[in-house]
């Protein structure tokens, strides 16, 4: 489990499954993350990949972690095509295991030297009625969405951020927050992460570390496509009548990571197209 640099490539990026929003990314100034280092989990696709590529464009050096080596290679290829070779490193690892988290942080020390920004994006779930959830199924989801996020966050802060007197932890949670049928396991874990970010903001704020949760709505990624849902129908549940792009979430992550976000901590930023305020089942 060693970090590797993406190789150069002259290929043009393949058309992604998910839509992109280059106009969302364009508002952020190149160089606004210069000199910063970042660790992004779940960086083989979707929000994680978009965030890693954007932060590299803004001047940060980024270590991207994911479980699927093939997906990570696609992230590397896109980084290379965009000219970010040398700014993005890759590491295949399953962060559900504490020893793997420790190895990731060793790679951070070796490749980046320090850690300024942690983006907790890795997560996963499956649809199941609450009464049908097995203990094993519930724990599988909470181990990744809650336990792994907690362990990585506290170890990263202990090892890098708190001694340096600076750091930002940005954790992806979920909206709507009022309850999603079939998502009892993930909703419980993500709500716990929101509470964790609030608590750590109070504990660590005096020592220069900010902790923020970001709650997107339905984001059109490869993962959402795999669920087999009706994207057009899903879009109609939000007042803005469309689903979100991974780029839009990445832009918010980068804003919080930048100097402009230095006074944001202990809160959940909701960017869901109004989904959380809409009446349940509001499809027209």
* CA atoms of 26 and 121, how far apart (whole Å): 22
Q: Where are the domains of the chain?
A: 26-275
How far apart, in whole angstroms, are the C-alpha atoms of residue 17 and residue 9? 21
154 burial level (CB within 10 Å; 0-12, 13-18, 19+): middle
Yes or no: say if 272 and 175 are a contact pair by the CB < 8 Å rule.
Answer: yes
Q: For residues 161 and 174, what is the distance between their CA atoms, to the nearest angstrom? A: 26
Work out the widest C-alpha separation in the chain, in whole angstroms: 53
58: Cβ–Cβ under 8 A, 6 or more apart, which residues?
28, 29, 30, 31, 32, 33, 34, 254, 258
Q: Is 212 helix (H, G, I), strand (E, B) or coil?
A: strand
Q: Class of 26-275 per CATH? A: alpha beta
What is the pLDDT at residue 3?
Answer: 54
- Contact, 223 vs 260, CB < 8 A? no
Q: What is the residue-level pLDDT of the chain in tens, covering all 284 positions? A: 445 544 433 333 444 457 788 888 888 999 999 999 999 999 999 999 999 999 999 999 999 999 999 999 999 999 999 999 789 999 999 999 999 999 999 999 999 999 999 999 987 776 667 777 788 877 778 888 899 999 999 999 999 999 999 999 999 998 877 777 767 777 778 889 999 999 999 999 999 999 999 999 888 877 777 667 788 888 888 899 998 999 999 999 999 999 999 999 999 999 999 988 885 544 44
Predicted confidence at residue 173, as pLDDT, reads: 94
Each residue's pLDDT tens digit, 135-168: 887 777 888 889 999 999 999 999 999 999 999 9
| Residue 241 CB coordination number (10 Å) | 12
Separation in Å, CA 182 to CA 115, 149, 156, 191, 194: 36, 22, 32, 15, 20
Residue 167 φ/ψ, nearest 5 degrees: 170, 160
Q: Is 150 left (phi over 0), alpha (psi -120 to 50) or beta?
A: alpha
């Amino acid at each position: 489990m060693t970090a590797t640099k993406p190789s150069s490539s002259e290929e043009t990026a393949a058309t992604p499954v998910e839509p992109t929003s280059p106009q969302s990314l364009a508002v952020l100034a190149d160089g606004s993350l210069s000199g910063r280092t970042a660790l992004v989990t779940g960086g083989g696709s979707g929000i994680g990949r978009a965030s890693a590529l954007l932060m590299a464009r803004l001047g940060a050096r980024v270590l991207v972690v994911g479980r699927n080596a093939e997906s990570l290679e696609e992230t590397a290829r896109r980084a290379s095509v965009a000219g970010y070779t040398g700014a993005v490193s890759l590491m295949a690892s399953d962060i559900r295991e504490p020893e793997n988290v420790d190895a990731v942080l060793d790679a951070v020390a070796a490749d980046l030297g320090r850690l300024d920004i942690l983006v907790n994006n890795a997560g996963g779930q499956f649809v199941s009625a609450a009464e049908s959830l097995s203990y094993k199924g519930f724990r599988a989801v909470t181990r990744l969405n809650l336990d792994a996020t907690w362990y990585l966050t506290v170890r990263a802060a202990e090892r890098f951020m708190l001694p340096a007197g600076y750091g930002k932890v940005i954790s992806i949670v979920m909206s709507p927050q009022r309850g999603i049928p079939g998502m009892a396991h993930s909703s419980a874990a993500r709500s716990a992460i929101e509470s964790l970010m609030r608590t750590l903001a109070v504990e660590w704020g005096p020592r220069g570390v900010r902790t923020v949760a970001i709650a997107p709505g339905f984001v059109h990624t490869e993962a959402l496509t795999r669920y087999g849902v009706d994207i057009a129908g899903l879009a109609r549940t939000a007042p803005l009548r469309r689903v979100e792009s991974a780029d839009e979430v990445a832009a918010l992550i980068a804003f919080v990571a930048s100097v402009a976000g230095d006074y944001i901590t202990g809160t959940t930023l909701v960017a869901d197209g109004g989904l959380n305020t809409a009446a349940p089942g509001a499809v027209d």
